[in-house]
């Protein structure tokens, strides 16, 4: 942990660790843990080259994909709207992302976001388009959680503020009770992690509160989608993290009992389970995400948001940070963190 409390340091830590998780997981995405071990000679322990990964093909070592780049654009829109994000602003951030990152769009756009962006560009109502169903995975994929960092970062200790902003951020794309639940769980975990007195236990409690509160709002306002309840999976993921004997045991149990695909329920549950097992350590948290298999980059990114807000930027390995920042010159996390910190401090 950092020696002195700094809102800016926590915000920059959250964005940076999320980005590093995305970059680290890009090399292992869509692989099983067994395939990861065979390819890299064991579990990955550092950034690896994603040169032959079909999803991150052409990326540099430590380069992000859609996850952290969407998180960044949503954070910039939060700044543009002075901390009071609107549904239209959230929708605009998605469209801006699609037009600003030709390397990631449409290549990396998920099963929800790819449809939503097309429809938003055609004039769809951002208040309603996220409620469209009729396709497997639409509205229940993990995109709602992977870009939600700023919702928690601008509300240190304010769980209800984090919930309301996370819902606004989620509404244009993932208008379901599951997505609201997952986005609010992570936003609340980050909001609590941003406080000086936070510990792993209080962050767990905040995540569970957010999951329950988000679901409650979703059941009233959103489309009721099929699928298991996120709160129950989150609680199970946390329990696995508490009970695991080592990292391999943790990721094996998470995959077997939770899953590691692109749905929001397993992604959020695995992310928090890994955070708990790592006792909040940012490096171990994202390594767990990169090794769990499946949607590794998204799971590591989501987990990294929470772990980075808890640890702060100054606690991070300098060699990892240097490599990450060199690989991602388009992501000015320091500038947006200063602006987000000004908003957060005005609310404390």
Residue 39 lies in a domain: yes
- Alpha helix locations (H) across 142-263? 143-146, 149-153, 159-170, 177-193, 200-221, 230-243, 247-257
Helix (H, G, I), strand (E, B) or coil at 325: helix
pLDDT tens profile 173-203? 999 999 999 999 999 999 999 999 999 999 9
Structure tokens at 314: 């100054």
CB within 8 Å of 44: residues ≥ 6 apart: 24, 27, 28, 36, 287, 290, 291
Query: Does the pLDDT of residue 107 top 80, yes or no?
Result: no
Residues 121, 111: Cα–Cα separation, whole Å: 17
Query: Does the pLDDT of residue 136 top 90, yes or no?
Result: no
Residue 331 lies in a domain: yes
Cα dihedral: 118, 124, 125, 131 (round 10): -60
Residues 180, 307: Cα–Cα separation, whole Å: 21
- Residue 16 assigned to a binding site: no
Residues 84, 330: Cα–Cα separation, whole Å: 25
Residue 169 lies in a domain: yes
- Residue 67 assigned to a binding site: yes
- Mean pLDDT lowest among 38-47, 107-116, 157-166, 300-309: 107-116
User: Which whole number is the average pLDDT over 257-278?
Assistant: 98
Residues 255, 258: Cα–Cα separation, whole Å: 5
3 confidence band (pLDDT: 50, 70, 90): low
1 confidence band (pLDDT: 50, 70, 90): very low
User: Which whole number is the average pLDDT over 138-156?
Assistant: 97
* Residue whose pair of structure tokens reads 């990169």 in the numeric block: 290
108 confidence band (pLDDT: 50, 70, 90): confident
* Residue whose pair of structure tokens reads 């009721």 in the numeric block: 224
User: Which whole number is the average pLDDT over 1-9?
Assistant: 78
Share the mean pLDDT of the chain. 96
Residue 1 lies in a domain: no
Instruction: Give me the half-sphere count of Cα atoms (radius 13 Å) on the Cβ side of residue 216.
Output: 10
Residues 346, 4: Cα–Cα separation, whole Å: 19
Q: What is the CATH number of the domain that holds 57?
A: 1.10.4080.10
pTM: 0.97
Identify the burial level of 286 via C-beta atoms within 10 angstroms of its C-beta, where 0-12 means exposed, 13-18 middle and 19 or more buried: buried
pLDDT at 278: 98
Residue 46 lies in a domain: yes
How many domains does the chain divide into? Answer: 1
CB within 8 Å of 8: residues ≥ 6 apart: 337, 338, 341
Query: Does the pLDDT of residue 312 top 90, yes or no?
Result: yes
- Residue 49 assigned to a binding site: no
- Residue 298 assigned to a binding site: yes
- Residue 125 assigned to a binding site: no
User: Which whole number is the average pLDDT over 78-104?
Assistant: 96
Helix (H, G, I), strand (E, B) or coil at 263: strand
pLDDT at 57: 84
In contact, 180 and 151? CB cutoff 8 Å = no
Residue 2 lies in a domain: no
User: Which whole number is the average pLDDT over 136-155?
Assistant: 96
CB within 8 Å of 246: residues ≥ 6 apart: none
Quote the percentage of the chain above a pLDDT of 90. Answer: 91
pLDDT at 249: 98
pLDDT at 6: 97
- Mean pLDDT lowest among 83-92, 107-116, 268-277, 308-317: 107-116
- Residue 22 assigned to a binding site: no
**Boundaries of domain holding 175:** 7-346
Residue 315 lies in a domain: yes
Residue 246 lies in a domain: yes
């Amino acid at each position: 942990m950092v020696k002195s409390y700094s809102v800016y340091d926590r915000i920059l830590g959250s964005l940076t660790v999320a980005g590093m998780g995305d970059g680290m997981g890009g090399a292992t995405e869509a692989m099983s843990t067994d395939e990861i071990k065979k390819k890299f000679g064991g579990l990955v322990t550092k950034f690896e080259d994603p040169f032959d990964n079909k999803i991150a093909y052409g990326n540099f070592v430590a380069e992000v994909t859609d996850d952290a780049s969407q998180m960044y654009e949503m954070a910039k829109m939060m700044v543009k709207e002075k901390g009071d994000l609107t549904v239209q602003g959230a929708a605009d951030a998605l469209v801006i992302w699609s037009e600003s990152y030709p390397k990631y769009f449409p290549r990396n756009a998920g099963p929800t976001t790819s449809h939503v962006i097309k429809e938003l560009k055609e004039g769809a109502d951002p208040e309603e388009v996220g409620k469209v169903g009729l396709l497997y995975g639409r509205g229940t994929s993990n995109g709602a959680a992977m870009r939600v960092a700023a919702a928690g970062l601008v509300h240190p200790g304010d769980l209800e503020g984090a919930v309301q902003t996370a819902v606004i951020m989620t509404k244009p794309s993932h208008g379901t009770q599951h997505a609201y639940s997952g986005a609010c769980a992570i936003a609340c975990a980050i909001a609590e992690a941003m406080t000086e007195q936070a510990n792993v236990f209080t962050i767990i409690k905040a995540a569970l509160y957010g999951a329950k509160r988000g679901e409650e709002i979703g059941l009233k306002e959103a489309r009721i989608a099929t699928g298991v309840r996120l709160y129950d999976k989150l609680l199970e993921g946390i329990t696995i993290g508490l009970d695991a004997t080592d990292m391999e045991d943790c990721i094996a149990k998470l995959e077997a009992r939770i899953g590691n695909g692109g749905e929001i329920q397993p992604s959020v549950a695995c992310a928090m389970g890994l955070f708990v097992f790592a006792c909040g350590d940012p490096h171990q948290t994202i390594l767990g995400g990169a090794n769990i298999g499946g949607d590794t980059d998204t799971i590591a990114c989501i987990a990294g948001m929470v772990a980075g807000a808890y640890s702060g930027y100054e606690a991070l390995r300098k060699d990892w940070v240097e490599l990450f920042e060199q690989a991602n010159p388009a992501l000015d996390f320091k500038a947006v963190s200063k602006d987000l910190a000004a908003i957060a401090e005005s609310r404390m």
